[in-house]
Amino acid sequence: MTAELRNLPHIASMAFNEPLMLEPAYARVFFCALAGQLGISRLTDAVSGDSLTAGEAPAALALSGDDDGPRQARSYQVMNGIAVLPVSGTLVSRTRALQPYSGMTGYNGIIARLQQAASDPMVDGILLDMDTPGGMVAGAFDCADIIARVRDIKPVWALANDMNCSAGQLLASAASRRLVTQTARTGSIGVMM
């Protein structure tokens, strides 16, 4: 059994019966993929009443983990005095890694990297490179509070790079400045129960 499959009960406990801030289309794909991995054949959308089957999730988006092996243990990159902190995938309260891992970024990792970059004399500013549909409510507001505190020490920019929705928008709202690429998707602010 792979490490990703052993973590499924942990992932399920964070996804079910928790308030989530997710872009609705991503939520459907995520829950269909997770249901398929957990052996659940049908899900019902509580808002619309639509039934979803595990087979509706595109195969490319199924929970397969990080096939490239472990990522390089690096807190952030510095380019021209700017610390670049990737914030990608589903946002969760905690992960064991500082960097995004297996399609998730932990608020705890974002906070740790922000604090390191804020105290790094080689860093003049911090760029949150955002590509996220959102995620858990738990931890999101605490992370946004830390971003707001750090922006008083060094400028913090949030770049919506492809997608920055829901909980990602909450984090970006705490930054000194928000930037959007020409084709990025932003918005979807709200909470799903």
φ, ψ dihedrals at 65, nearest 5°: 85, -165
Tokens 């400028």, residue? Answer: 155
> Is 166 among the residues known to form the active site?
yes
Strands (DSSP E) found in the chain: 20-22, 42-44, 51-53, 77-79, 82-92, 104-106, 125-136, 156-165, 177-180, 185-187
Q: For the chain, what is the radius of gyration of the CA atoms? A: 17
Give the active site residue among 13, 64, 166, 176: 166
N residues, the chain: 193
What's the rounded Cα separation, in Å, for the pair 185 and 132?
10
What's the rounded Cα separation, in Å, for the pair 124 and 53?
48
27 CB contacts (<8 Å, ≥6 apart)? 20, 133, 192
- DSSP bridge partners of 186: 164
Catalytic sites, residue numbers: 166
